[in-house]
């Protein structure tokens, strides 16, 4: 979990191994691939909050490292983040996943102690899709931003006032939605959030979380 590029040598050919360090890939089950300022920060935040050990593999996107075969063997769409879980208990001993939301949901179930039945998984999937699909479309499709975005925010503001999105404590659902909300002042500083005080409070509370600060400080 050290900062910077390839802190721990890995065996799958992305980046040059640093032969001064021992190869520990065999006992590190999880490897997360991401780029600077990429959506990898969402699953990273989750792993930091939950204390899940992982190897962080920062790709040099400007140099096109994500388009090299070593990475497209993991995600053929050449997009980050991607997760590799090396575990003899898995079919074939390995799972390769892309899509930040899918990575988050997998981590929550397999390593975060969440999503332990179909109903819990259903609700977690609902909030992750809400964040990555509905909120994203409302924000990034210009024609939606004026009408659709305030509607979503109005309802979300009420919902956030009731506490965590699922159950009684911070969960994968809060991670997905709040990571997205915390992007707002960064990517859309022109949007006035003052009509949505609970959204503003949630963003402020997110920015205060040590695990969030740790990950975002490394972006």
Residues lying near a second copy in the complex (CB under 8 A): 76-79, 90-91, 95, 97-102, 105-106, 109-110, 118-119, 121-123, 125-126, 128-130, 132-134, 136-137, 140-142, 151-152, 155, 158-159
Nearer to a second copy, 19 or 155 (CB): 155
Strands (E) located in the chain: 30-34, 55-58, 82-86, 94-98
Q: Taking the complex as a whole, how short is the minimal distance between the CB of residue 21 and a second copy, in angstroms? A: 30
Nearest partner of 46 among 117, 111, 136, judged by Cα? 111
Percentages (nearest 5) of helix, strand, coil residues in the chain: 50, 10, 40
Q: How many residues does the chain have?
A: 219
Nearer to a second copy, 6 or 97 (CB): 97
Nearer to a second copy, 6 or 111 (CB): 111
The token duo for 167 is 């159950």
Write the burial class of residue 78 (CB in 10 Å: 0-12 exposed, 13-18 middle, 19+ buried). Answer: middle
Q: Taking the complex as a whole, how short is the minimal distance between the CB of residue 161 and a second copy, in angstroms? A: 12
Alpha helix (H) ranges present in 2-147? 41-50, 69-72, 100-110, 118-129, 136-140, 142-145
Nearer to a second copy, 49 or 114 (CB): 114
Nearer to a second copy, 24 or 113 (CB): 113
Nearer to a second copy, 54 or 106 (CB): 106
Q: How far apart are CA 28 and CA 85, in angstroms?
A: 9
Q: Taking the complex as a whole, how short is the minimal distance between the CB of residue 120 and a second copy, in angstroms? A: 9
Q: Taking the complex as a whole, how short is the minimal distance between the CB of residue 179 and a second copy, in angstroms? A: 14
Tokens 């075969």 — which residue? 69
Q: How far apart are CA 216 and CA 38, in angstroms?
A: 10
Nearest partner of 179 among 137, 215, 152, judged by Cα? 215
Q: Taking the complex as a whole, how short is the minimal distance between the CB of residue 155 and a second copy, in angstroms? A: 5
CA angle 100/216/70 to nearest 5° reads 45
Q: Taking the complex as a whole, how short is the minimal distance between the CB of residue 105 and a second copy, in angstroms? A: 5
Nearer to a second copy, 6 or 120 (CB): 120
């Amino acid at each position: 979990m050290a900062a910077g590029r390839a802190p721990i040598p890995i065996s799958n050919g992305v980046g040059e191994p640093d032969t001064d360090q021992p190869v520990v890939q065999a006992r590190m089950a999880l490897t997360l691939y991401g780029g600077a300022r990429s959506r990898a920060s969402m699953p990273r935040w989750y792993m930091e909050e939950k204390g899940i050990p992982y190897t962080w593999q920062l790709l040099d996107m400007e140099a096109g490292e994500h388009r090299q075969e070593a990475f497209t063997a993991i995600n053929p769409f050449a997009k980050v983040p991607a997760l590799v879980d090396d575990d003899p208990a898995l079919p074939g001993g390995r799972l390769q996943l892309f899509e930040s939301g899918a990575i988050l949901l997998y981590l929550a179930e397999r390593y975060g102690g969440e999503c332990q039945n179909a109903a819990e998984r259903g609700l977690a999937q609902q909030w992750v899709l809400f964040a990555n699909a509905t909120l994203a479309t409302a924000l990034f499709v210009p024609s939606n931003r004026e009408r659709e975005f305030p509607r979503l925010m109005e309802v979300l503001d009420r919902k956030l006032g009731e506490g965590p999105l699922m159950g009684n404590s911070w969960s994968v659902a809060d991670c997905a939605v709040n990571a997205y909300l915390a992007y707002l002042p960064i990517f859309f500083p022109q949007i006035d959030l003052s009509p949505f005080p609970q959204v503003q409070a949630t963003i402020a509370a997110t920015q205060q979380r040590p695990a969030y600060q740790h990950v975002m400080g490394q972006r």
